[in-house]
Amino acid sequence: MKKRNWVIAGAVVVLAALGIGYGIRSSHYQDRFLPKTEVLGVNVAGKTVKQADQKLKATLADVDYQLKDGGQTVATVSGKTLGLKRDYQALLGKLLAKQNPWGFSAVVLANSDKSALASSADSKEITTYATSEAASLNKTRTAPVDAKVVLKGDSYKVEKEQAGNQVDPHKLAEALAKAIQDNKHSVALKQTFYQPKAKATDKALINAATKLEKIGRVKAVITITNHKEQIPASRLKSWLSYSNGAVQVDEKGVAKFVTELANKYNTYDKARQFKSTKRGTVTVPAGIYGWSIMQDKETAALIDLIKKGQDFDQQVLHRGTGYHADGADIGSTYLEIDKQNQHEWLYQNGKVVLDSPVVTGKPATPTPSGVFAVWSKQRNATLVGEDYRTPVSYWMPIDNTGVGLHDASWQPTFGGTWYQKHGSHGCINQPPSFIPKLWAAMSVGTPVIVF
């Protein structure tokens, strides 16, 4: 019985001693870190916040971090350069507040607050270094190449992406921060490489190749007067591409094609071969009459039609005068003025309905040759020049310099060689008895061929 009491008494003493020891231990760790505590890989067990801060500064500022590429070290940077010399007291204070001083087990604080540690490691210095080092490394490195749709032979294929080895500064900064957090002293550069944004397996690229193939088979026709121009399939396909998530049509390529059509078919500002009444086929220089393709609008229209991916036959967009579906340009209704023969003929639907002798400009002020058109009709107008002011009963201007058709009551005769000494300042003088009939038979827009 006595022995049992002694055992109990001894146990009480031991427990009391343990309780006192535990209390002392708990009190000791109220402002110190527990055993086996690590912060950013540095053992701070038993230290106060201030002591731990000093140790972290001293340890981490002297640590070197290596950037490795395929086992080769391509750069080394110190913790001091990465900003690991700064004040850690705020971080340490937060971590100390989270530990349980009454606990028996050790707390490894480096794993207890990853977000705080990551924030601590993500410094301005790390970002600055990563940006600078990436720029330096990338001078001799290859950028990745995105997968893309390309024309190979006669069909469209998705060309596989190509990996590169250029460093993404944002990824490098993150990798350095994580290495510091995990107490590792090297970073594998491969994990920081830029990656291709588009891959050959992307559904959008596969669908784009199919769509381009369909568009490339479109029968694209442009109708110009009585001609039809089909865009060659090979040329059409050379304009097609896929980027920014959409099918693209090369505007410069289409514009070049439209320019070729304009050079071939435009009649404005071009000389013409004209079958005259008395002198056979003559060459008549350009005047104000003629039409031209509206190149900018035509280019835009073709691009829109091509993108739709359907066969089309488009009437070309044009401006000016003389565009006829039969390709005649001047047509079969016009006024012909032959300066050499001092005579004019009015044709309607290919037949002469009126003709008369005329007086054109004298040699010093000749009537200009060209293909013109009546652009206005006026009664009782006054013609004004540098040295004359002449009223006329009928006035039909045909160019943009003041030349036109009008009655000339002051001329005693018309035709022959009279014009050589008594010709006009450039206008085509009409017999007063004839011009009322010509006035009635001609409308605004009627071509006037002078040669």
> Catalytic positions, please?
406, 427
Q: What are phi and psi of 446, to 5 degrees?
A: -65, 130
Distance CA 354, CA 348 (A): 9
Q: Is 361 helix (H, G, I), strand (E, B) or coil?
A: strand
The one-letter amino acid at 237: K
As a whole number of angstroms, the distance between CA 402 and CA 426 comes to 8
Distance of alpha carbon 301 from alpha carbon 37, whole angstroms: 73
Return contacts of 65-68, CB within 8 angstroms, 24+ apart: 65/176, 65/179, 65/180, 65/185, 65/186, 65/187, 66/185, 66/186, 66/187, 67/133, 67/172, 67/186, 67/187, 67/189, 68/186, 68/187, 68/188, 68/189
Structure token digits, residue 168 = 């993404």
Q: How far apart are the first and last CA of the chain?
A: 151
Mind giving me the DSSP string for 307-321? HHTS-EEEEPPEEES
> With contact defined as beta carbons under 8 Å apart, do 322 and 330 qualify?
yes
In the three-class reduction of DSSP (H, G, I as helix; E, B as strand; rest coil), residue 197 is classed as coil
Tokens, residue 57: 């500064």
Cβ(267)–Cβ(287) below 8 Å: no
